[in-house]
């Protein structure tokens, strides 16, 4: 199956990033939001970002100049009915995602592949209310989408080989690398990452400085950044949400959110995006 048109539901940071990458690769993109006000606001943000990137030679100038032909938006899911691939990028609410997949299954033509960008929720359960089980999978992009080269493809027990192959070709067309991940909480990256971050935070609670832990990891493990700088970059609220979700799903004590993480989030210190987390910015 060939992919020509991409649908994206949800125009938050991840939805806009996926739209940017898809447009840059030459796809036609249709985006939807729950209401007209949110749609117009986020479309304006996306369009402004793409025009600025085009001026900086970081986005194809010819595509930026023809956005009105390549990018369309709607507050009606029916607008996605003829897309070849629809990627759900709404907030991490399992019941909301399940209901959205049910509705997408009703409005989209039979060949449409339905994908979720969830970072830790079970893909099989997200698609449980929809038919076309062979055409449902996870396509987990990382933030920021424009810089992160990895994409996890989450295969459910009923995802067909053709769907997986089509999704892999799509990811490769974005100049990114796909890995096949199991439909287990956290998939590959977040399952490893949250255990890593949690242990680093527990060491910090024992009295080891964030600076020394970050130095140990960057110099001793050759990581590009230490766990505390990484947590601040990801967003401490995001890290806390994923840790809670994985602890609930796996009932594993090593995913229990550290007290320090809970405290910082409660204080509104979420990392780089708020100017303070484990470090000040």
Residues 6 or more apart whose CB falls under 8 angstroms from that of 28 comprise 4, 5, 6, 70, 71, 72
Alpha carbons within 13 A on the beta-carbon side of 68: 1
Lowest model confidence (mean pLDDT) among 1-5, 153-157, 269-273: 1-5
pLDDT given at position 200: 97
Name the token pair of 196: 């890593």
Contact 273, 222 (CB under 8 A): no
In this predicted model, what pLDDT tens digit does every residue of 183-198 receive, in sequence order? 999 999 999 999 999 9
Segment 68-85 shows an average pLDDT of 96
Contact 120, 187 (CB under 8 A): yes
Contact 30, 4 (CB under 8 A): no
**Mean of pLDDT over the chain:** 96
pLDDT given at position 146: 92
pLDDT given at position 230: 96
Residue 252 confidence class, pLDDT cut points 50, 70, 90: confident
Contact 139, 3 (CB under 8 A): no
Question: Does 254 have pLDDT greater than 90?
Answer: no
Helix axes 189-205, 236-250, angle to 10 degrees: 110
Measured CA to CA, the distance from residue 51 to residue 57 in angstroms comes to: 10
In this predicted model, what pLDDT tens digit does every residue of 144-188 receive, in sequence order? 999 999 999 999 999 999 999 999 999 999 999 999 999 999 999
Domains with residue ranges and CATH for the chain = 5-182 (3.40.50.720), 189-273 (1.10.1040.10)
Residue 232 confidence class, pLDDT cut points 50, 70, 90: very high
In this predicted model, what pLDDT tens digit does every residue of 11-44 receive, in sequence order? 999 999 999 999 999 999 999 999 999 999 999 9
Contact 135, 160 (CB under 8 A): yes
Segment 217-228 shows an average pLDDT of 97
**Centroid of chain to Cα 74:** 21
Question: Does 98 have pLDDT greater than 90?
Answer: yes
Q: Which are the catalytic amino acids?
A: 119, 140, 152, 190
pLDDT given at position 1: 80
Measured CA to CA, the distance from residue 85 to residue 115 in angstroms comes to: 7
Measured CA to CA, the distance from residue 119 to residue 185 in angstroms comes to: 9
Segment 210-236 shows an average pLDDT of 97
Segment 123-146 shows an average pLDDT of 96
Question: Does 255 have pLDDT greater than 90?
Answer: no
Lowest model confidence (mean pLDDT) among 63-67, 176-180, 253-257, 275-279: 253-257
Name the token pair of 2: 């060939």
Segment 92-115 shows an average pLDDT of 97
């Amino acid at each position: 199956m060939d992919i020509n048109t991409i649908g994206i539901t949800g125009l938050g940071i991840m939805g806009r990033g996926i739209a940017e990458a898809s447009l840059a690769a030459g796809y036609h993109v249709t985006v939807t939001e729950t209401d007209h006000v949110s749609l117009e606001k986020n479309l304006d943000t996306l369009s402004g970002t793409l025009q600025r990137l085009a001026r900086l030679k970081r986005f194809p100038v010819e595509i930026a100049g023809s956005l009105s032909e390549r990018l369309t938006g709607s507050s009606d899911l029916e607008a996605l009915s003829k897309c070849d691939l629809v990627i759900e990028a709404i907030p991490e609410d399992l019941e909301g995602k399940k209901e959205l997949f049910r509705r997408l299954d009703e409005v989209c033509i039979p060949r449409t592949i339905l994908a979720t960008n969830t970072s830790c929720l079970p893909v099989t359960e997200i698609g449980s209310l929809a038919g076309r089980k062979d055409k449902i999978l996870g396509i987990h992009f990382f933030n920021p989408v424009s810089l992160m080269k990895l994409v996890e493809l989450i295969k459910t027990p009923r995802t067909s080989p053709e769907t997986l192959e089509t999704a892999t070709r799509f990811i490769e067309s974005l100049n990114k690398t796909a890995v096949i991940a199991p439909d287990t909480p956290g998939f590959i990256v977040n399952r490893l990452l949250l255990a890593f971050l949690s242990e680093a935070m527990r060491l910090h609670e024992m009295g080891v400085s964030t600076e020394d832990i970050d130095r140990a990891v960057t110099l001793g493990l050759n990581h590009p950044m230490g766990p505390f700088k990484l947590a601040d970059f990801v967003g401490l609220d995001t890290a806390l949400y994923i840790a809670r979700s994985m602890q609930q799903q796996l009932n594993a004590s090593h995913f229990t959110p550290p007290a320090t993480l809970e405290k910082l989030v409660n204080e509104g210190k979420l990392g780089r995006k708020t100017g303070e987390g484990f470090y000040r910015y």
